Each structure stands twice: as C-alpha cells, then as structure tokens.
C-alpha cells in the first residue's frame, strides 16, 4: 500500500493505518514523514490544477496533522529539508478573516517555502519586527474587508519607515483585492488566489 | 369574501404580499401617510420597478438601482461604528442621510450596526465588535469556532430547538451558560402530573435564574432599539423609499457550516460523517423556510434576504455542491416561493461553476445578486428564468474614480439589462467607499439604465 497515494487521494483511515503498520515494522519515521509530505505536495498540485477544492486541501491538512502527531515524537533530530525561501504572512490589522490566508500558507509550504504565519489582526509593527528578525525577502498581507486596504497601506509605510522596503517584496490578496488596491497600498503585486501567491514567491526568489 | 392564506395558490400569496408592499400600513393598520403626493408616487413606482425586474413579465421603466451598504452610511455621516452601535439615534440619522442623499430604489434599513448594548449584556462570543476586540471605527466581525462539536449531530437533528437553546446558546452567549441546565419542554406531557412538575426544577437553580434575568434585560434593550427601527422604517417609507427585504434566512448548509461547525469543522465532516451532515441540513429546511416566510408576511415585504457563503466557487467541488449544498437550499427557496415570498439570494464570492445548477428554479420567482461572478455568463444562463443583480466591485467604490465607476456601470448595463430582469447593485456590501463613487454609481445607472 502506498502512503503517498493514500494521502493524495484523501484516504484518511488507510493513510493512518499504513503509517502505524510501517512504524511497528520498524521503519524510519523520517522516511514516512517525507512520503507524507510528497502526498501533500500532490494535493497542492491537484488544487492548483483545479481538480481539488478548498475542502480537499483542508482535509489533507487534517490527515497530515494526525500523521505528524504520530510520527514526530519518534524523530530524534529533525532533518531540515532545503527551503526555497522565507515568507512572513498574516491578516492585517482590524481584520480577523483567515480562510484565504491559511490556504496561501498551505500552498507556500507544500511548495517548499518556510512560512512565518503571524495569524490575524496583525498590527504593522509586528510585521516589521518579524521581517527584521527572519530577514524574509517576502511579505504576504491578507485582508477580506475594505478596511484592510488602509491597514495594508499602513503596514507598507511602516516597512518604509523601518528602512526595510527595498529589502522585501510585498504581495497582497484577499476577497476584494485587485490591481487598483495594489496601487493604493503600494504593494509590489497582488494575487487572485493561492496559486498566484506561489508563482509570485517563486519568481521573487528566482526559483520559477 | 377574501380567501384564507391556506387556500391561496403561491401566485395569489405573492400577489397579496406585493400589494402589501405597494400599499404599506402604519402600526395602527391604517394606510401609511406619505409626506407628499410625489413621495407616494415615487414609492409605488420604485416597488413596481423592482417587481417588474423580478417577475420577468414586463420590462421596467428603468433598471432598479440599489446601493447596498454595510457600514458606509456610518462613515459617511462622520460617526464611528461604535457610536452607531451604542447611540441608536445617531445610527438612525446616519442611515437616513444615506437614503436621502443617494436615493436608492429600496433600502435594507438601518439595522446593520445593531443594538450594541445587547451584545454587551449577553456577552456575545460569536462576534468581535468595537470596544470588544476591534477598534472603535471597525465593523463587527464573526469569530468562527466549533460552537457545535463533531459528535453532536444527533442532538441537533433530533431536536434543533432544544439543541440551540441548551447547547448553542451557552457557548455563543457568555452570560447564558445556565441555559444548559434546562429540561426539554417536550418532556412535559399529561400522562402523570408529577412528571410535568419535575421539569420545572431547573428554573429554581441560580445559574438558570441568572440566565433568565440576563435574557429579560437583553430583550428590553432590543425592544427599545427596535421601536426606533420601526419609526425609522415608517419615516423612510413615507419619504418614498420601500424596504427591500421583509425577512432573512440562510442555506441550511451555511447554518451548519457558519453558525455551528465552522468552515474547517463542516469540511472535515463532509468526509468523515457525510450522512450526518446531510441529515442535519435536511432537519433545518422547514426551520429556514418558516424563519424567512414568517418575517416577510409580518413585515408585508415579499423579499427574503439570503446571504450564501460556503457554496461559492472553490469552497467546494461541483459534486459536493450538488450533494451537500444545493438540494436543501433549493428546498428552502421552493418553500419560500410556496409561501408567496421572493428569495433574494446573495451569492458572495464567485458562482461561475454553479450557474447551470442554480438555473433549476421556477421562472421569475427569485433574485440572484452576484459579487464576483461573470455577469455575462450569469445573464446568458439565468437571464430567461431569473432576475440577476450585481456587481459593482467594492474595491472600485473604495479606491477607484467616478469615471471608472461609470465605465463599469455602463458595461454592466450593456451586458445585463437587455429585456429587463436586472437590478444594479454593488457586488459585496461596502464599508469604506468614496461618496463621489457611490453617487456616480447611482446617478449614472439611473440615467443610463432607462429602457426606451
């Protein structure tokens, strides 16, 4: 039975059984986790190609969470896979919507980015701090409400004031965000969906 | 001799509701006195215009124009959202100014900000509002959570009312935890008087008494507020502006998904316990129909507002939409039509992949308001059977120019208005917007949207 396939096809019970069986057979947990990641990567690809939808993505994340909970305690040292680059992301001040942002985080992660997710209602100074601390070259600002446009603008201004604007590329996205909004906020780019976020990020780190 | 409601056909019921919409009454049951004969003529022309656009029997005199705001009137009036939520008079003044300045063909009313003190009294957990988690000038926002747990479907399905009162309420309202101790009212039967008596014991318990006290206080606050709302409605109608909706309800899947289980919860349930989800949405069908139809009848306005959320493009596959979302939404829509109502379906996000499915409804009985759906496709697929409305983007209203707005409106009318069956609205309910953009949308549409 193939773990990669079981996860890619969202067969939860089967995937968990494979993991448990292989662990009790003494298999290397790192290898199992790696295969699980590959399964998730296929889910990401299927989402990008329109075969899968948001529910499939969220369900696969739930399957992965359970596998990680079983496998992680058995791994002595975490082997860090090589990452494409760092991305700081969050929903801007005043806005607590996170479904879209979470999908972008998922897609960036399965595509090899190291993502620092600051959550929702994130004030400009926290974005600035995190960009400074991680030296991430990419910042993602999410917002669903029209009031988020101003918060995005303020966040980008705060980057300028901190002298970081030329060190970080800013992408924005969310419900009503368009190129008009991008101009208004001073962001470098906007994306209509999570796939757009991935291609932007890849282009910015020179990985596309 | 008038026919009884039960004896009427759905068409006759709709006609009754439309007549009541056309000729509103005051609280004493007398014909509403309009401020001027012009106001009366305008009022009736506006209702007729909407009815013509919806029923697809006649082409209206022009495209009806409905700017449908969220918190915009509050910002436009120059008060904070917090003030509007707590100072009811200021809120009413703000929404009145919006109607008088922008002259919509109908209004959603002044209830948006709501009675702030009520939320305080009941310690509402489902929202963050100004002073309680968001800033003074921001709209309240819903806090998603698993207000219903994954293993509680049977409790919901068996007795939705008891479930809401004793499980959902204590989780949604911090001050109403005591309600979890109540007995099911359906245990009070006549077969032995003692059995009836014992079910009153919970009312002696301090947490229950505390909850009842809070409910009485909360109810009094809402009553105070709603009296102002009723006065506002009468004044606005007397000035010539119809109310757009008489009531509201939700798609059963959204009730489970938004209200009870949360997005992630219901998504996982679709895979792990699909049968339970299907039973739950089915159990909610008659409740949703009653919720919308009763209010519409009481208020004498046939339109029932239905904001749709989780059925949008991408939020589920076509297969999932056809299995979990549409069948019970369709039942609610048909149930409302049966009661003479006109469902006003607000398809938030995109509905492009759903157009062929949602076409399957009786002709001229609903309005589909679209947000990010391709309006040309919507007109092509639904145009023969349903009135469509939409979709001036809120981002354009917020950061665009009046010229850009006019250009969009022109294109929209060119695409959708041919032969009637179109209402011009914004796409999503707007907060921040440039007043000159809103004005451009309304005035240009009224001028360009005349049928010749």
A88 min Cα distance to partner chain B (Å): 23
Cβ distance A183 to B399 less than 8 Å, yes or no, reads yes
pLDDT tens-place string over residues B44-95: 999 999 999 999 999 999 999 999 999 999 999 999 999 999 999 999 999 9
**Same domain? A68 vs A95:** no
**Same domain? A121 vs A182:** yes
Residue-level pLDDT at B68: 97
| Boundary (domain end) residue, out of A36, A55, A74 | A74
Residue A138 lies in a domain: yes
Q: Which of A194-203, B164-173, B218-227 has the lowest mean pLDDT?
A: A194-203
**Same domain? A111 vs A53:** no
| CATH number of the domain residue A135 falls in | 3.40.50.280
Q: Which CA distances in Å does B122 have to A151, B169, B209, B259?
A: 31, 10, 14, 17
Chain B hits for A56, Cβ within 8 Å:
317
**Same domain? A17 vs A108:** no
**Structural domains of chain B, with CATH:** 1-68+244-452 (3.20.20.210), 81-86+113-241 (no CATH)
**Same domain? A116 vs A199:** yes
CB of B80 within 8 Å of a chain A CB? The answer is no
Residue A80 lies in a domain: no
Residue-level pLDDT at A29: 87
| Boundary (domain end) residue, out of A48, A74, A100 | A74
CB of B399 within 8 Å of a chain A CB? The answer is yes
User: Residue holding tokens 């009503």?
Assistant: A176
How many CB pairs (< 8 A) connect A and B? Answer: 83
User: Residue holding tokens 């926002």?
Assistant: B141
- E strands along chain A, which residues? 85-91, 113-117, 138-142, 169-173, 189-191
Token pair belonging to B274 = 């699909």
Confidence (pTM)? 0.91
**Same domain? A97 vs A64:** no
**Same domain? A115 vs A12:** no
A contact test, residue of B70, B129, B137, B141 with most A CBs within 10 A: B141
Chain A hits for B315, Cβ within 8 Å:
53-55
Cβ distance A96 to B141 less than 8 Å, yes or no, reads yes
For residue B346, the 8-state DSSP code is E
Residue A158 lies in a domain: yes
Rounded Cα–Cα distance for residues B442 and B451 (Å): 16
Q: Helices B10-22 and B37-55, interaxial angle, to 10°?
A: 150
Residue-level pLDDT at A96: 85
Q: In B251-301, where does DSSP find H-type helix?
A: 252-254, 262-272, 274-299
Residue-level pLDDT at A77: 60
Nearest to A146 among B128, B315, B398 (CB): B398
Is the confidence at residue B253, as pLDDT, over 80? yes
Q: Domain range spanning residue A18?
A: 3-74
Taking CA–CA distances from A194, the nearest residue in chain B reads B314
Nearest to A181 among B270, B399, B428 (CB): B399
Chain A hits for B400, Cβ within 8 Å:
180
Residue-level pLDDT at A25: 94
| Boundary (domain end) residue, out of A74, A107, A130 | A74
Residue-level pLDDT at B353: 96
**Same domain? A180 vs A90:** yes
Domain count, chain A: 2
| CATH number of the domain residue A58 falls in | 1.10.1240.10
Asked if residues A150 and A122 have their Cβ atoms less than 8 Å apart, the reply is: no
Residue A70 lies in a domain: yes
Residue A38 lies in a domain: yes
| Residues 16-55, chain B, touching A (beta carbon < 8 A) | none
Nearest to A53 among B141, B317, B394 (CB): B317
Residue A79 lies in a domain: no
Token pair belonging to A167 = 């060190």
A contact test, residue of B80, B399, B405, B433 with most A CBs within 10 A: B399
Q: How many CB atoms lie within 10 A of CB B34?
A: 18
Cβ distance B395 to A55 less than 8 Å, yes or no, reads no
**Same domain? A45 vs A100:** no
CB of B395 within 8 Å of a chain A CB? The answer is yes
Residue-level pLDDT at B31: 95
Residue A163 lies in a domain: yes
Residue A137 lies in a domain: yes
Alpha-carbon dihedral B356, B325, B299, B438, rounded to 10 degrees: -60
**Same domain? A64 vs A122:** no
B contact test, residue of A48, A122, A147 with most B CBs within 10 A: A147
- Mind listing the pLDDT tens digit of every residue in chain A (208 residues)? 699 999 999 999 999 999 999 999 999 888 898 899 899 989 989 998 999 999 999 999 999 989 988 988 887 665 556 789 999 999 999 888 888 898 899 889 888 899 999 999 999 999 999 999 999 999 999 998 888 999 999 999 999 999 999 999 999 999 888 899 999 999 999 998 888 999 999 999 988 6
| Percentages of chain A per state (helix, strand, coil), in multiples of 5 | 55, 15, 30
Is the confidence at residue B2, as pLDDT, over 80? no
A contact test, residue of B264, B320, B322, B390 with most A CBs within 10 A: B264
Q: What percent of chain B stands above pLDDT 90?
A: 96
Chain B hits for A66, Cβ within 8 Å:
none
**Same domain? A57 vs A89:** no
Asked if residues B423 and B367 have their Cβ atoms less than 8 Å apart, the reply is: yes
**CA neighbours closer than 13 Å in the CB half-sphere of residue B160:** 16
Nearest to A178 among B263, B393, B432 (CB): B393
Chain B hits for A184, Cβ within 8 Å:
399
Is the confidence at residue B1, as pLDDT, over 60? no
Q: How many CB atoms lie within 10 A of CB B441?
A: 26
Is the confidence at residue B149, as pLDDT, over 80? yes
B72 min Cα distance to partner chain A (Å): 11
**Once rounded to an integer, what is the mean pLDDT over residues B311-338?**
97
Residue-level pLDDT at B32: 96
User: Residue holding tokens 């049968």?
Assistant: B275
Mean model confidence pLDDT for chain B: 96
CB of B394 within 8 Å of a chain A CB? The answer is yes
Nearest CA-CA partner of B133 in B121, B120, B122: B120
**Same domain? A67 vs A102:** no
A76 min Cα distance to partner chain B (Å): 31
User: Residue holding tokens 């993502």?
Assistant: A115
């Amino acid at each position: 039975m193939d773990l990669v396939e079981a996860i890619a096809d969202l067969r939860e019970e089967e995937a968990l059984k494979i993991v448990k069986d292989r662990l009790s057979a003494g298999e290397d947990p790192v290898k199992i986790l790696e295969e699980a990641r590959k399964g998730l990567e296929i889910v990401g690809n299927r989402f990008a190609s329109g075969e899968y939808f948001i529910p499939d993505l969220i369900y696969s994340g739930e399957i992965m969470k359970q596998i990680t909970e079983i496998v992680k305690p058995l791994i002595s040292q975490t082997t860090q896979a090589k990452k494409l680059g760092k991305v700081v992301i969050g929903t801007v001040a005043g806005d607590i919507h996170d479904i879209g942002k979470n999908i972008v985080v998922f897609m960036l992660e399965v595509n090899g980015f190291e993502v620092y997710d600051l959550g929702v209602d994130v004030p400009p100074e926290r974005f600035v701090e995190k960009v400074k601390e991680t030296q991430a070259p990419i910042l993602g600002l999410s917002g669903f409400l029209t009031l988020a446009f101003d918060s995005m603008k303020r966040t980008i201004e705060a980057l300028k004031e901190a002298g970081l604007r030329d060190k970080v590329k800013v992408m924005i996205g969310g419900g009503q965000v368009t190129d008009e909004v991008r101009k208004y906020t001073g962001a470098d780019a906007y994306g209509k969906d999570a796939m757009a976020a991935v291609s932007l990020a890849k282009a910015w780190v020179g990985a596309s | 001799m008038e026919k009884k409601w039960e004896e009427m056909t759905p068409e006759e019921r709709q006609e009754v509701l439309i007549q009541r919409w056309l000729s509103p009454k005051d609280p004493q049951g007398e014909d509403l006195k309009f401020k001027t004969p012009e106001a009366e003529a305008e009022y009736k022309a506006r209702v007729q215009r909407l009815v013509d656009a919806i029923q697809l029997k006649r082409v209206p005199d022009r495209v009806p124009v409905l700017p449908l705001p969220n918190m915009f009137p509050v910002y436009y009036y120059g008060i904070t959202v917090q003030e509007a939520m707590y100072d009811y008079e200021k809120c009413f003044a703000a929404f009145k100014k919006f109607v008088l300045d922008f002259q919509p063909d109908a209004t959603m009313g002044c209830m948006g900000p709501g009675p702030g003190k009520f939320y305080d009294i009941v310690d509402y957990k489902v929202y963050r509002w100004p002073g309680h988690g968001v800033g003074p000038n921001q709209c309240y926002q819903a806090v998603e959570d698993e207000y219903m747990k994954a293993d509680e479907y049977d409790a919901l399905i068996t007795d939705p009312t008891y479930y809401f009162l004793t499980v959902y309420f204590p989780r949604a309202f911090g001050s109403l935890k005591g309600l979890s101790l109540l007995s099911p009212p359906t245990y009070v039967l006549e077969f032995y008087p003692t059995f009836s008596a014992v079910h009153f014991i919970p009312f002696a318990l301090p947490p229950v008494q505390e909850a009842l006290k809070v409910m009485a206080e909360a109810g009094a606050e809402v009553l105070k507020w709603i009296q102002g709302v009723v006065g506002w409605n009468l004044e606005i109608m007397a000035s010539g502006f119809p109310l757009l909706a008489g009531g509201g309800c939700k798609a059963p899947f959204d009730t489970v998904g938004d209200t009870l289980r949360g997005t992630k919860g219901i998504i996982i349930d679709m895979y792990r316990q699909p049968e339970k989800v299907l039973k739950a949405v089915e159990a909610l069908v008659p409740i949703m129909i009653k919720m919308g139809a009763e209010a519409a009848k009481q208020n004498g306005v046939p339109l029932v507002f239905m904001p749709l959320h989780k059925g949008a493009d991408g939020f589920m596959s076509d297969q999932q939409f056809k299995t979990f979302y549409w069948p019970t939404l369709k039942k609610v829509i048909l149930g409302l039509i049966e009661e003479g109502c006109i469902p006003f379906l607000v398809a938030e996000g995109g509905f492009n992949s759903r157009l062929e499915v949602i076409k399957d409804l009786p002709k001229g009985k609903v309005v589909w308001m679209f947000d990010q759906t391709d309006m040309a496709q919507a007109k092509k697929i639904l145009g023969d059977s349903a009135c469509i409305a939409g979709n001036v983007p809120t981002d354009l209203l917020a950061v665009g120019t009046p010229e850009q707005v006019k250009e969009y409106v022109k294109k929209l009318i060119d695409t959708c208005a041919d032969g009637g069956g179109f209402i011009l609205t914004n796409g999503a309910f707007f907060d921040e917007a440039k007043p000159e953009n809103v004005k451009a949308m309304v005035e240009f549409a009224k001028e360009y949207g005349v049928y010749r």
